[in-house]
Amino acid sequence: MLKMKLFLNITLVLITFFACFAENVYLALRPPKPEHTIMLTIRARQSFDYDRKKALSSKRMQARSQYVPVFNYVPAKVEASRKQMEALTKEFLSFQTQKKKRIDDFITTLNSEFGVDVSKESLTKVRRYRDLKKLLEGILTIEETILQNKILPGPRHLKGKKTIEIRDPALATPVISPIDDLITLEKARFSMQQKVQQLFWQVNKSILDPILKICQATLLPNLEFDKKENARRLDKIQRQYPIQTLSFQAGDILIPFRKQLNEQDVLLLNAFQKQQIKEIYRSVPWSLFTILFMVMFYNVFLSTVLTTGSRKAPPQRPLLSLLILCIFILKGGLLFTPLPIYALPFAFLPLLVISLSHGKLTAIGTAVVGTILVSLFAGPQYLIMLYFIFGGLTAVLVSANIQKRWQIILPSLSVGLVNSISVLAFSLDSQAALPAAASLQSISSFLAKAAFNPALIERLGWAFAGGLVAGPLALLLLPLLEISWDTASTFKLSRYTDLQRPLMKKLLKEAPGTYQHSMTVAYLAQLVGEAIGANSLLLRIGAYYHDIGKMETPKNFIENQYNSENPHDFLDPWESTELIINHVKHGIKIGMGSRLPRAIVDLILQHHGTQLMEYFYSIAAENQPNETLDEADFRYPGPRPQSIEAAIIMIVDAAEAASRSMQDPTRSKLENMVQLIVGKRIADEQFSECDLTTRDISKIVRALVDALEASFHSRIRYPWQEKAPVKRRTRWTFGMSDKNPQARSSFKM
């Protein structure tokens, strides 16, 4: 047992410590890469600020450099250039042939329609040039050649770019064009100038230059920068690589379970790992110290604090196993689900402790220790710890008296409600809370704002769900724990309160006297148990079944004889003792065969302890004064009561039987009788293994006397009820007196 306890303590420490750093171990063993699927939910263990402007700067610059600007090819601009050139040609020819046309008017036309300012002297020379038409037609041909190129308005959007995307309405898909294949409007006009000068080198410069200047104005770009599409693409890059700083609180999700990582996720996890490496030298020793301290405290709490006074230490192995199970389930919920931390059903831990009948104080201590351990790996934050403590204590307070499975609904709803209130309270800003407390109107205003806060409503919903799930989860785990630790929950015990169960019906049929005796013992034991704070449900059920072994030979027990012949009148004391002792053996056999809970079988086994059967021992001593008797032959095999409940059954069983033989049972007689029974068992050290104190014994005596006085108060005895006492016949002989008592192996269990 000691080795098992040590193993469970070490396991609890290691499991909790690993749970604190499971994400760090995973990221170290499997570094995050783009396109990989992450198999755990990664959460922040403490406050974490992610500076995306700094972390994503290189990626953002790279994305911008790789971004391809979009231009639209506009055929209408090409046509517009041709038409302008044709219109200009007509104007020139009209200006040349119509002598009446004034130069000032022509200058105004050029300035307004083509944006060109030319002097009068230049236009005068142009008018006099005889081959003007031929010159203009040649320039038009050159311009049409240049317009076949992709002409950009300017180099403004081409810095650092090697290609652009051209969307031509005549083509189904965009075309990626190298920058070298494009020309700007400035280069197009320069190219036009070069070609015109090369072709018409013989024309006088004073004539060619103004004409060329005017013709260049008709040349327009046929590519337009698509502002809307380019703005959309730049915005996408901005959203992909934002500059805002992200702030995470302890327990917040960084990357959810089974997400395929992208570049941003990898950068976030890398930043998270860097922060964890900085904190690891402080967090690891602190976490390990806290875990060790809490595990040691819990062991001392169970073995020392709870045993102060009259209580025997609760079973530590099941409780340590519950903490290990709690760590497994809750950490698994954090690692393998994207649920928020508020959705953890922590309250199932105290609900299980209560359901397994370990008491409120044990449940409170377990909840507090569990809260601190869970808060270490969920995020060592003060508010998270308070959140779990409030829910756990609510579960203890509300579930103390539940005895049926459906009654688990009330604790679950209560925990969910307290969880939601806690989240609402934690969501209050300290500065905003002060005016909110000033007036009812301010409080109403705050609640109205909260009602329209989707994030807060979602948190409240998850918090309520976490409490609501705790009860069903506890019910789901109970059967596994009952099988693993051979124990019985309150719900399982409650099934055995039904007196219509086959075993109780059989007891009523085959041993009706024993059945009535058991009912009375159950009534008395339950009252006594309630008086001292013992498990009254277990006492009641244990009393129902404590004498089921008498069904094997009911006539061997006086309550089932009904004035018929007593078989013990014809047996020697050793044989009678063996028959009486056998009802314990038979009871254990019947109980285990009927699959009674171990707690009930233990009461059957222990309700007589190792008591001496004084009646048969005294007869044997009286009739064989010269023989040395071995008391072990006349004692029950035991063990002595191991629990307060077993001790109560022992006392109440004897007191009920003795009270039935009392004439005119007054309170004084009943009190003397109970004190005598208790005193003999104390002197016989029957309570040496169950930690009964004098205070408990005093309460037991007082409660039992009160109950017996109410049940067996004196009544008037009518003359016809009087009868002569029946004397015991002693027809048996001492034929076995020379036998070795050690040979009576049937006396032993």
DSSP letters of 235-251? HHHHHHS--SEEEE-TT
Q: What is the CA radius of gyration of the chain?
A: 49
State the pLDDT at residue 452.
64
Quick one: pLDDT band at residue 515, thresholds 50, 70, 90?
Answer: very high
**Distance of alpha carbon 79 from the chain centroid:** 71
Q: What is the mean pLDDT of residues 456-464?
A: 89
Q: What is the pLDDT of residue 441?
A: 56
Rounded to whole angstroms, the Cα distance separating 225 from 6 reads 76
| Share of residues in the chain with pLDDT > 70 (%) | 89
Q: What is the mean pLDDT of residues 117-136?
A: 79
Please name the amino acid found at residue 118.
Answer: V
pLDDT of 719 = 60
Tell me what the mean pLDDT of segment 399-425 comes to.
86
pLDDT digits (tens, 9 = 90+) for 2-16: 788 899 999 999 999
Q: What is the pLDDT of residues 286-334, one digit of tens each?
A: 899 999 999 999 998 888 766 654 455 577 888 999 999 999 999 999 9
Sign for the CA dihedral angle at 364, 368, 370, 375 comes to: positive
Those residues with Cβ within 8 angstroms of residue 627's Cβ, 6 or more apart along the chain or in another chain: 620, 737
| Paired residues of 247 in beta bridges | 49
CB-hemisphere CA count at 13 Å for 256? 6
pLDDT of residue 100: 53
In this prediction, residue 519 carries a pLDDT of 93
Q: What is the pLDDT of residue 367?
A: 94
463 confidence band (pLDDT: 50, 70, 90): very high
Residue 746: pLDDT band with limits 50, 70, 90: very low
* Residues 6 or more apart in contact with residue 642 via CB below 8 angstroms: 312, 602, 606, 689, 690
pLDDT digits (tens, 9 = 90+) for 494-509: 888 889 999 999 999 9
Q: State how beta strands 163-167 and 175-178 pair.
A: antiparallel
* pLDDT of 489 over the 80 cut: no
Residue 517 pLDDT > 60: yes
Q: Which CATH number fits domain 498-715+725-747: 2.60.40, 1.10.3210, 2.60.300, 1.20.58?
A: 1.10.3210
Residue 180 pLDDT: 87
* pLDDT range class, residue 652, cuts 50, 70, 90: very high
Q: Got the DSSP string for 137-201? A: HHHHHHHHHHHTSEEES-STT-TT-SEEEEE-TTSSS-EEEEGGGEEEHHHHHHHHHHHHHHHTT
Q: Is 68 helix (H, G, I), strand (E, B) or coil?
A: coil
Task: Quote the pLDDT of residue 729.
Answer: 45
Q: What is the mean pLDDT of residues 628-637?
A: 84
Query: How confident is the prediction for the chain on average, in pLDDT?
Result: 83
Q: What is the pLDDT at residue 743? A: 43
353-391 confidence digits (pLDDT tens): 988 877 788 899 999 999 999 988 877 678 889 999 999
With a cut of 90, say whether residue 484 has pLDDT above it: no
Percent of the chain with pLDDT over 90: 29
pLDDT of residue 584: 92
Which pair of tokens denotes residue 88?
């200009």
pLDDT at residue 473, as a whole number: 93
What is the per-residue pLDDT for 325?
Answer: 94
Distances (CA, A) of 182 to 168, 174, 229, 324: 15, 16, 20, 71
Mean pLDDT of 724-746: 46
Residue 282 has pLDDT above 80, yes or no: yes
Least confident residue range of 26-30, 264-268, 434-438, 584-588: 434-438
Rounded CA separation 57/282 (Å) = 30
pLDDT at 442 over 70: no
Q: Which residues of 220-256 are buried (b: 16+ CB within 10 A; e: fewer)?
A: bbbbebbeeebeebeeebeeebeeeeeebebbbbbbe
Per the document, the length of the chain is: 749
CA of 533: how far to CAs of 305, 536, 539, 588, 627, in Å?
A: 17, 8, 11, 27, 47
Cis peptide before 639 (omega within 30 of 0): yes
Residue indicated by tokens 């190219």: 191
Any idea which residue has 């193993």 for tokens? Answer: 7
Please compute the mean of the pLDDT values over residues 528-553 and round it to a whole number: 89
Residue 734 has pLDDT above 90, yes or no: no
How much is the pLDDT for 715? 55
Kindly report, as residue ranges, where domains of CATH 1.10.3210 are found in the chain.
498-715+725-747
Position 575 scores a pLDDT of 86
Taking 60 as the threshold, does the pLDDT of residue 270 lie above it?
yes
Q: % helix / strand / coil in the chain, to the nearest 5?
A: 65, 5, 30
pLDDT tens for 166-185 read 998 888 888 999 988 888 88
